[in-house]
Structure 1
Amino acid sequence: MGVSMITGRQAIAEVAQAARGQQRALDELDAQLSELRTQQQALLHQRAEQLRSLAKLRIELLETGASGSLDRAEAEAAQWLKQRDAAAALVEQQIADAQAGLDALERERAAQVERLQAAADRLDTAEAAAQARLASDAAYQSQLERAHEAERTALHADEKATEREQEQVTKGSRYQADPLFMYLWQRGYGTADYAARGLFAWLDGKVARLIGYADSRLSYQRLLEIGPRLRAHAERMQQRAEAEIDALRALDEAARAADGIPALDHACDQEQEALDEIDQRIDAVQQQLQALREQRALFASGQDAQSRAAIDQLAQALGASALKALERAARATPMPEDDQLVANLVEIDRQQRRISFLREQTETTRAKQQERLKELTQLQRELRQRRMDRPGSEFDDKAMVAMMLANFVNGLLDRRSLLRGLEEQYRYRPPRANPAFGSGSYRRGSSWGGSGRGSSGRGGFGGGGFGTGDGFGGGGFRTGGGF
């Protein structure tokens, strides 16, 4: 069975689905934390009730006003919790509104992607038709052959010049390392520039004969001269090649203009700009949702200001010295009326420790889930920015993409590693038009050693001829380019 591929749009949809699943898991953890918080508050109230009952059994301690302080603390705690519930309800409504807005934007984006796909298809169809026409145009094919031949000649000339320049460095160093040879060379011995007379000329001649300077000078001179001549020739061939390629590019551009391709190209750009604007709005809403969910997490875990005030108020009252003394006395007395109340307090303590442990574990899990959701959201943003859902984008192995996403969600793969894995799987396959057609196969300044003029716009070097894609991370849906 062959490997099943997946389109770029399908792959990003898989990421979005994983993000939604992560959000559902996060919602469940928030609900669990909220329930644990409610249970913890209920245990505080149960503890207060048990201590009230103990106080009624010991009338003498009622005179301290301990029971009254509990009533006041519970009343104040109730007010704090009422404020907390109102604030939490507002955050929930804001989350619902933001999520509804995000869902609407995602639907708008899907529709815009369809419009962009249609524009890209029209552009690709027109480019393919122009290419087919030029492929059978004798004048165009003749110019194409001249461009190819000029390029081959320029490449060969550049290789020969580079080879001789390297040879000049290698062989020239041996001459330059000989102090006697360089002494005579620098004085111009054996040339019309040599000016020494008398004894100095006699001594220089003796040295020249001793080291065989005459033959070495001619060899070194040829070594120094041939490199620049070959490089000058290579530069002339490069200029000739560029002129032929410019002529080919002009034919490309004329054919594009005749078929209305620039207008289709511009329409594609406009659809891409509209998609970019939607993506910016999606990013803004996602950031807003992240901030709101962090607020909800505080309410769910009881870490918001109102919940902390309510718990602190009641805990402070329960820790009052009079109530502590009451509890110690109840534990020490043999009175049977106290036994059940004390047993209840012991059970409440045990439940409080259990809930505290569960809350700690749940909050730890939630923090990991929250970080994973943030990573998934960032991954969606990066995939969109890199245009990995543009028409013609696909991934080689659907099962591999699914496995990498699963490993990422489960914490076995980080975002950078996932992106690298997706890059290896990614392919861009234009449906019809050939991005290397005509002048699109040339990259000025990089094929040969000259400085060139760099990459320029569509239909020329770097633009891909009839393929005008910008590659991975570049802008827009195009029929050419790569990852």
Structure 2
Amino acid sequence: MSVNARSGRSVGHAIQQAVSGVNNHLLECQSAMNQHERSMSELVERRGQSLLHLAQHYLPNIDQQTIAGSFGEVRNQLADILGRKQRHEREIERTLQADAAEESRLETELEEITERLNEKVARREELEKVVAQRLETDEEFQRLSKEALIAEKELNRNEQRVAEIQSEAAEKLPSYEKSRLFKYLHDRAYGTSEYMKTGLTKTLDGWVAKMIKYPRARRSYDFLRVTPELVAQEVIRRRDQFNGLMEQVEAIEDRYDDEVGLTTVMREGQEVGDRRDRVVAAISNQQALTDKHRQELITLEGSQNEYYQEAVSRMKVFLSNLEDWRLENASRSTPEPDDDEIVAEIVRLGKELNENKQEASKLTHEHQVWRERTSDLQAVWQQFHRGDFDSSRSYFPYDFSIESYLEEFVRGRIDRDQLWSAIRSAQEFAPPWYDQPPTRRDRHYQGDFSHVLMRVLLDIAGQALENAARRGMQRRSPIRQEQRRQKGRPGFSSRGFTDGRGF
């Protein structure tokens, strides 16, 4: 990685801090909503008491004890509903605390695994260089590799020839087989020792053969019919020869891999890489679960939940005869000032409740905004992990200011896709050792094969046999992978130790 670059890990830490920040905003919103709900409960209680006092004051024809009893009953019912709702909320809050603890544990585990994986990658590259140096100085390896490359070149030429002949045969054979005169002579084996006709028949057959130039036509027909199979057999022979040579070449590489410890590092690295992929997936699943629990809590704090609907239905009957305007009109018709004071208190509390409802709507909207931002930023964080952007090979331009992009996101000026696009377009991976100068950068080491072997073979091949080396590695890739699997050896992957490209 260039010294004039910013590491992927530092960018990842900035994103992680931003995730923590939006989570704190979300918790603050949650706390404000909880406080607001407590205030609303107090206002409802005080307003209910005032309604009861007023009902007892100006409705003498109704048994006051009955009114008090009815109100006490509905108040107890509401208290029971509120209690069940609060217990449900506390249960979800405990679940969210457990979610946060599990996310923290997984993030810590991921950091530890990533550190171990970076160490395995560094060790792998160190040992790969050692193996490459040994292969470059191994005379038997050099000889077998050149023979294998030449064999591949011939194999490819034969395969092309088979394809050309098969295409030509498919095009021309039907015309011979549709010719009645040609088929007549051919079926009678004209021109061969098997031809038994005599006399006039032989004379006429000779005249027909001369007319259609049968001898030349038969030679062409036999060539088109027989040659594809002959060349195909040669292809099989060439392929067996190539595979035999490559197996010897690969055996030498395997021997050096074992001697220097690269095989062990490959196996351990793949195990750690698999574990990292599992932890990354577990974090993603856990965050989805956390988001689900947050949404459940938001639903409880709104008006679209079972507790709210139950409370409304219980209050409708009791309050249907005690609405503010009815009580206010009744109080004005009586000369006593006491009821006016009670009604004024009811009206004031009603206004406070309306104001609190508006404030509750704002808080709910703000909470929803921060919940979405938290979810979106965590999604970006997961994409960062899945892409291996936090690996030691990952880097960004030195002047890439992830903090500015994160601030724009937190302020709502850019969305998740824009943030991720900025990160993805700026990120790069340092090339592995085998694809660094002075080697050619246009070699494109893509494929599930040994990149060490590919590097050495390309050096041996030179420009004349470069294509043969590439084709040969692609030919051998599935065969060698299966052979390694059967022997219990670690396989090769173009993506390294993980599903991403950073390890």
Structure 1 letter corresponding to 2:326: R
Q: TM-score, normalised by structure 2?
A: 0.70
Residue 249 of structure 1 deviates from its aligned partner by 0.7
Give me the whole-angstrom Cα distance separating, in 2, the residues matched to 1:41 and 1:185: 108
Give me the whole-angstrom Cα distance separating, in 1, the residues matched to 2:174 and 2:14: 62
1:60 to 2:60 alignment: yes
Match of 1:231 in 2: 232
C-alpha change, 1:339 and 1:170, in structure 2 (3 Å) is: farther
Task: Determine which of 452, 456, 470 is the counterpart of 2:493.
Answer: 470
C-alpha change, 1:413 and 1:97, in structure 2 (3 Å) is: closer
Match of 2:157 in 1: 156
Residue 191 of structure 1 deviates from its aligned partner by 5.2
Structure 2 letter corresponding to 1:220: Y
Residue 353 of structure 1 deviates from its aligned partner by 6.6
1:456 to 2:475 alignment: no
Give me the whole-angstrom Cα distance separating, in 1, the residues matched to 2:374 and 2:86: 26
- Give the 3-state SS of the residue equivalent to 1:429 in structure 2: coil
Give me the whole-angstrom Cα distance separating, in 1, the residues matched to 2:417 and 2:185: 64
- Give the 3-state SS of the residue equivalent to 2:451 in structure 1: coil
Which deviates more, 46-55 or 361-370? 361-370
Give me the whole-angstrom Cα distance separating, in 2, the residues matched to 1:4 and 1:408: 26
**Number of residue-to-residue matches in the alignment:** 470
Q: Alpha-carbon deviations, 1:377-405, whole Å to 9, x = none?
A: 56656765665655535578995999999
Q: Alpha-carbon deviations, 1:53-79, whole Å to 9, x = none?
A: 543552336547445533432343234
C-alpha change, 1:252 and 1:423, in structure 2 (3 Å) is: farther
Alignment of 1:18-97 (within 5 A): 19-21=19-21, 23-31=23-31, 33-34=33-34, 37-38=37-38, 41=41, 44-45=44-45, 47-49=47-49, 51-52=51-52, 54-56=54-56, 58-60=58-60, 62-63=62-63, 65-66=66-67, 68-97=69-98
C-alpha change, 1:358 and 1:393, in structure 2 (3 Å) is: same
C-alpha change, 1:329 and 1:105, in structure 2 (3 Å) is: closer
Any conservation in 2 of the 1:95–1:293 contact (CA below 8 Å)?
yes
Percent identity over paired residues? 18
Residue 42 of structure 1 deviates from its aligned partner by 5.2
Give me the whole-angstrom Cα distance separating, in 2, the residues matched to 1:407 and 1:361: 22
1:113 to 2:114 alignment: yes
- Give the 3-state SS of the residue equivalent to 1:60 in structure 2: coil
Match of 1:447 in 2: 471
Give me the whole-angstrom Cα distance separating, in 1, the residues matched to 2:12 and 2:331: 69
C-alpha change, 1:111 and 1:37, in structure 2 (3 Å) is: same
Match of 1:436 in 2: 451
Give me the whole-angstrom Cα distance separating, in 2, the residues matched to 1:36 and 1:69: 28
Give me the whole-angstrom Cα distance separating, in 2, the residues matched to 1:184 and 1:453: 51
Give me the whole-angstrom Cα distance separating, in 1, the residues matched to 2:25 and 2:387: 28
- Give the 3-state SS of the residue equivalent to 2:478 in structure 1: coil
Q: Alpha-carbon deviations, 1:407-442, whole Å to 9, x = none?
A: 999685669x96999599664732468853325769
C-alpha change, 1:451 and 1:100, in structure 2 (3 Å) is: closer
Residue 21 of structure 1 deviates from its aligned partner by 5.0
Q: Is there any run of 5+ residues in structure 1 with no aligned partner, and where?
A: none
Match of 2:180 in 1: 180
C-alpha change, 1:413 and 1:224, in structure 2 (3 Å) is: farther
Q: TM-score, normalised by structure 1?
A: 0.72
Q: Is there any run of 5+ residues in structure 2 with no aligned partner, and where?
A: 437-449, 459-466
Residue 132 of structure 1 deviates from its aligned partner by 2.1
Q: Alpha-carbon deviations, 1:93-135, whole Å to 9, x = none?
A: 4433442343233223212221222122222211212212322
Q: Alpha-carbon deviations, 1:224-264, whole Å to 9, x = none?
A: 33333333223322222222211111111111122122222
Any conservation in 1 of the 2:173–2:224 contact (CA below 8 Å)?
yes
Give me the whole-angstrom Cα distance separating, in 1, the residues matched to 2:91 and 2:433: 50
Give me the whole-angstrom Cα distance separating, in 2, the residues matched to 1:219 and 1:372: 75
Any conservation in 2 of the 1:147–1:241 contact (CA below 8 Å)?
yes
C-alpha change, 1:223 and 1:323, in structure 2 (3 Å) is: same
Give me the whole-angstrom Cα distance separating, in 2, the residues matched to 1:423 and 1:165: 48
Any conservation in 1 of the 2:327–2:343 contact (CA below 8 Å)?
no
Match of 1:323 in 2: 322
Q: What RMSD, in angstroms, separates the aligned Cα atoms of the two structures?
A: 5.2
Give me the whole-angstrom Cα distance separating, in 1, the residues matched to 2:422 and 2:186: 57
Give me the whole-angstrom Cα distance separating, in 2, the residues matched to 1:184 and 1:420: 75
Q: Alpha-carbon deviations, 1:178-218, whole Å to 9, x = none?
A: 44367447735535466788998787766655544443332
C-alpha change, 1:394 and 1:227, in structure 2 (3 Å) is: farther
Any conservation in 2 of the 1:34–1:301 contact (CA below 8 Å)?
no
Match of 2:217 in 1: 216
Structure 2 letter corresponding to 1:430: P
Structure 2 letter corresponding to 1:123: R
Give me the whole-angstrom Cα distance separating, in 1, the residues matched to 2:44 and 2:243: 84
Match of 1:392 in 2: 393
Any conservation in 2 of the 1:158–1:234 contact (CA below 8 Å)?
yes
1:300 to 2:301 alignment: yes
C-alpha change, 1:183 and 1:458, in structure 2 (3 Å) is: closer
Give me the whole-angstrom Cα distance separating, in 2, the residues matched to 1:371 and 1:399: 26
Structure 2 letter corresponding to 1:454: P
Any conservation in 2 of the 1:55–1:61 contact (CA below 8 Å)?
no
Alignment of 1:125-164 (within 5 A): 125-164=126-165
Q: Alpha-carbon deviations, 1:158-197, whole Å to 9, x = none?
A: 2232233223333445545x44367447735535466788
Q: Alpha-carbon deviations, 1:30-56, whole Å to 9, x = none?
A: 445545645654564465355345435
